[in-house]
Amino acid sequence: MTTILLIYTGGTIGMIKDYNTGSLRPFNFDKLIKNIPELNQLDCDIDTCSFESPIDSSNINSEHWIQIASIVEDAYENYDGFVVLHGSDTMSYSASALSFLLENLGKPVIFTGSQLPIGDLRTDAKENLITSIQIASLKQNNKPVIQEVCLYFEYKLYRGNRTTKLSAENFEAFWSLNYPALGESGVHLKVFSENLYQTKKNKKLIVHKVMDSNVAILKLFPGFNALLLESFLNTPNLKAVIIETYGAGNAPTEDWLIENLKIAIKKGIHVINVTQCSGGSVTMGQYETSKHLQGLQMISGKDITTEAAITKLMYMLGVNISPKLFKTVFETSLRGEIS
């Protein structure tokens, strides 16, 4: 029988309504089967573990990502799959981070959550939880069907490092605009095998446990000026910065922008060009307003999401990628995060 480890970090999905008081309280995951009897219909054994102090996902940081990765590492040989329950606000960041921390992953790690608590009358929590466990337990020829970090929400399974949260109100909160869904839940549970990440066979899992948070994101806007840019780039200990540009990687052609970026790059700060559009790709040189950035040898984020870009930077700095190779490695797909 397939064995699944359910990891609860916090978030709305972990709350249940106390009907005597009307307030929300943490759900006791030790009584998971009792509270969600539908899980008995799944052909798998489910164990649970929880953060000692469950957190709101707005408080998530790189230490928590390493904690989740360590839980997976310690339990890796004893379970066929993992489901991580997480608040939706930063779930795309966490799923992206785990994809980089878990190198040579050969089993499913499925992130899920909900917009409404598990005890709410109209909750989306039960379906998200039940289907995530079912997906994590899928096997073919005695091997896991899914061998990557994914995010499941509202009937869709996505590659985790391709997702972005686009709605704070709709049940369909997440989208993967630059990569197709990996699966879909309807009358039948469909997995689109042609979209799955192909892991290298017979490679042992490597769990990375260092991330460098000396990174930042700067979003361009009309009226952005030299003083703001200078102040930003002179942040102490800054090692890498994502510039969220317009459209296909475009930016103002002002001299002060070019000069400040030149100085930053000369100082050894890695500067990455990522589009602020939810979908699409950076193509430097396509327009006149991006040729000057191409000339600076800025790193192209291509069609990476901001969530994946920032966590990839933290990972790459943590494993001490050589400055000479940094641009090449970042522009290369490591876990399917770039087309």
Task: Give me the phi and psi of 81, to 5 degrees please.
Answer: -165, 165
For the chain, residues with pLDDT lower than 70 are 31-33
Contact in structure between 255 and 223 (CB atoms under 8 Å): no
Task: Give me the phi and psi of 49, to 5 degrees please.
Answer: -145, 155
Give me the pLDDT at residue 70, please.
Answer: 98
Give me the pLDDT at residue 20, please.
Answer: 79
Query: 12 catalytic, yes or no?
Result: yes
Distance CA 218, CA 199 (A): 33
- pTM attached to this predicted model: 0.94
Domain with CATH 3.40.50.40 in the chain: 215-330
Give me the pLDDT at residue 202, please.
Answer: 80
Q: Any residues with CB less than 8 A from the CB of 214 and at least 6 apart, and which?
A: 237, 238, 239, 240, 317
Give me the pLDDT at residue 27, please.
Answer: 72
pLDDT digits (tens, 9 = 90+) for 124-151: 888 999 999 999 999 999 999 999 999 9
Contact in structure between 326 and 220 (CB atoms under 8 Å): no
- The CATH superfamily assigned to 2-207 is L-asparaginase, N-terminal domain (3.40.50.1170)
Contact in structure between 151 and 85 (CB atoms under 8 Å): no
Give me the pLDDT at residue 17, please.
Answer: 72
CATH architecture under which domain 215-330 falls: 3-Layer(aba) Sandwich (3.40)
Please name the amino acid found at residue 328: T
Give me the pLDDT at residue 240, please.
Answer: 98
Contact in structure between 22 and 121 (CB atoms under 8 Å): no
Distance CA 137, CA 153 (A): 17
Give me the pLDDT at residue 171, please.
Answer: 87
Helix (H, G, I), strand (E, B) or coil at 281: coil
Give me the pLDDT at residue 337, please.
Answer: 98
Domain with CATH 3.40.50.1170 in the chain: 2-207
pLDDT digits (tens, 9 = 90+) for 15-72: 777 777 877 777 777 766 677 888 888 889 999 999 988 888 999 999 999 999 999 9
| 18 CA to centre of own chain | 32
Distance CA 38, CA 47 (A): 15
Give me the pLDDT at residue 123, please.
Answer: 83
- Which residues is 245 bridged to in the sheet? 275
Please name the amino acid found at residue 6: L
Catalytic residue, chosen from 2, 3, 9, 12, is 12
Distance CA 10, CA 67 (A): 13
